[in-house]
């Protein structure tokens, strides 16, 4: 594995390297913020890179500077494939397993490009040539700041870069609330504010930008769908494809719903299952010593962080619910 600092002369070379930046499917603010933060930083070095997402993402992210240049692999497969094949570097941000970028993963693997992994999820795979990785970082956006700092280019951070990076730090820490929030996180956030990020506007763009339908959908789920397994201090919400249709739920709309379960006094484990038609997608959130990522891995081919994880299943939503409840009984010692 090469040292990430060795990228500096390669980025400053006279012949500009061809750079593709990619991130995990259904990108959130950390995924897209780190990608566009890096994109805007490379612009400062006169490098026009290309951000390619494996899928679409919510429109609450579309304010990010540089967002109109992003290519969605599902929509522009041919162009995206060609760019990956011809790239000198592919930056892989906010993921560390190629399956997280769907079929784009095979193209990245096959590309002659050097791969640079910048990520904070557990258990990284070995597909990269350069790596900036620690599961202790609050967010990939914080790591992009460290990357820029390692290259001694902090002076190049402008408002565009700062705004993208601030967004990812804010959302991955749930507004500086999670245990992953360190003194460094606050220092980086403070630097980004000094470089021009407007915290109130970024907060508003992301958190006050939901549709009326989405708000009513949340109300419906909390009122009608929330199951509390008292004995196991667990909250579950299972949403069917029909319910998603009824409320016109789009990408990103169910984001945050899983946190309501965990906000109930005494609840240690909260699960959201959403029937996305092609697959059933699970979100897991936990408190205390319940290993959400281990649970996700064991039952639902997933993974993630210790207290915030996810997974998916091709089984019916009814069977997923049954399997979930069996798993919870097996993990009772962590929950009682």
Out of Mn ion, ligand 5GP, none, what residue 66 binds, judged by CB under 5 to 8 A for its kind, is none
Q: Are 52 and 229 in contact (CB under 8 A)?
A: no
- Residue holding tokens 């038609």? 277
Binding-site member from 17, 168, 252, 310 for ligand 5GP (CB under 6 A): 310
Q: Are 298 and 258 in contact (CB under 8 A)?
A: no
Binding mask 243-282 for ligand 5GP (x = CB under 6 A): ----------------------------------------
- Sequential DSSP letters for 230-279: GGGTEEEEEE-HHHHHHTT--TTTTTTHHHHHHTSTT--EEEEEEE-SSS
**How many whole angstroms separate alpha carbon 254 and alpha carbon 67?**
22
How many CB atoms are closer than 10 A to CB 173?
22
Decide: is 94 part of the binding site for Mn ion (CB under 5 A). Answer: yes
Site for ligand 5GP in 85-144 (CB under 6 A): 121
What's the rounded Cα separation, in Å, for the pair 122 and 99? Answer: 15
Site membership for ligand 5GP, residue 311 (CB under 6 A): yes
Site string for Mn ion, 184-223 (x = CB under 5 A): ----------------------------------------
Contact call for residue 65 and ligand 5GP (CB under 6 A)? no
CB 168 within 8 A of CB 34: yes
Smallest gap, in angstroms, from Cβ of residue 306 to Mn ion? 14
d(CA 84, CA 76): 12
Task: Fill in the DSSP letter of residue 68.
Answer: G
x/- track of binding to Mn ion for residues 114-153 (CB under 5 A): --------------------------x-------------
By a kind-dependent CB cut-off of 5 to 8 A, residue 308 interacts, out of Mn ion, ligand 5GP, none, with ligand 5GP
Residues of span 278-307 touching ligand 5GP by CB under 6 A? 283, 302-305
- Stretch binding ligand 5GP (CB under 6 A), from 128-136, 182-190, 216-224, 309-317: 309-317
CA separation for the pair 217, 71 (Å, rounded) = 30
Instruction: Give the strand pairing for 280-286 and 234-239.
Output: unpaired
Q: What are phi and psi of 304, to 5 degrees?
A: 135, -150
Residue 131: contacted member of Mn ion, ligand 5GP, none (CB under 5 to 8 Å, by partner type)? none
Least distance between ligand 5GP and beta carbon 88 (Å): 28
Task: Of 6, 64, 66, 61, give the one whose Cα is nearest residue 42.
Answer: 66
One residue of 312, 313, 320, 324 binding ligand 5GP per CB under 6 A: 312
Interacting residue ranges for Mn ion, rule: CB under 5 A:
30, 94, 140, 172
Interacting residue ranges for ligand 5GP, rule: CB under 6 A:
121, 283, 302-305, 308-312
């Amino acid at each position: 594995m090469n040292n990430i600092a060795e990228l500096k002369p390669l980025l400053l070379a006279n012949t500009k390297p061809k750079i593709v930046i990619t991130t995990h499917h259904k990108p959130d603010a950390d995924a897209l913020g780190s990608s566009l933060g890096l994109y805007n930083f490379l612009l400062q070095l006169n490098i026009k890179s290309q951000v390619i997402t494996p899928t679409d993402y919510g429109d609450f992210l579309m304010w990010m500077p540089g967002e109109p240049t992003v290519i969605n692999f599902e929509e522009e497969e041919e162009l995206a494939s060609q760019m990956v094949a011809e790239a000198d570097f592919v930056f892989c941000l906010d993921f560390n397993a190629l399956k997280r970028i769907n079929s784009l993963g095979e193209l990245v693997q096959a590309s002659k490009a050097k791969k640079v992994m910048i990520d904070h999820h557990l258990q990284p795979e070995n597909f990269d040539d350069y790596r900036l990785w620690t599961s202790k970082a609050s967010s990939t956006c914080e790591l992009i700041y460290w990357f820029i700092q390692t290259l001694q280019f902090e002076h190049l951070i402008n408002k565009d870069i700062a705004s993208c990076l601030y967004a990812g730090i804010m959302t991955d820490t749930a507004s500086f609330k999670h245990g992953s929030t360190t003194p460094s996180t606050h220092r980086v956030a403070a630097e980004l504010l000094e470089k021009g990020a407007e915290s109130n506007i970024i907060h508003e763009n992301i958190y006050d930008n939901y549709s009326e339908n989405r708000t009513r959908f949340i109300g419906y789920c909390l009122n009608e769908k929330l199951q509390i397994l008292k004995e196991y201090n667990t909250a579950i919400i299972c949403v069917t494809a029909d319910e998603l249709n009824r409320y016109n739920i789009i990408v990103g709309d169910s984001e945050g719903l899983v946190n309501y379960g965990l906000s109930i006094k005494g609840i240690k484990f909260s699960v959201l299952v959403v029937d996305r038609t092609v697959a059933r997608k699970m979100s897991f959130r936990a408190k205390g010593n319940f290993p959400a990522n281990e649970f996700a891995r064991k039952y639902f081919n997933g993974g993630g962080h210790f207290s915030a994880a996810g997974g998916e299943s091709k089984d019916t939503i009814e069977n997923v619910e049954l399997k979930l409840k069996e798993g919870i009984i097996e993990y009772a010692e962590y929950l009682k």
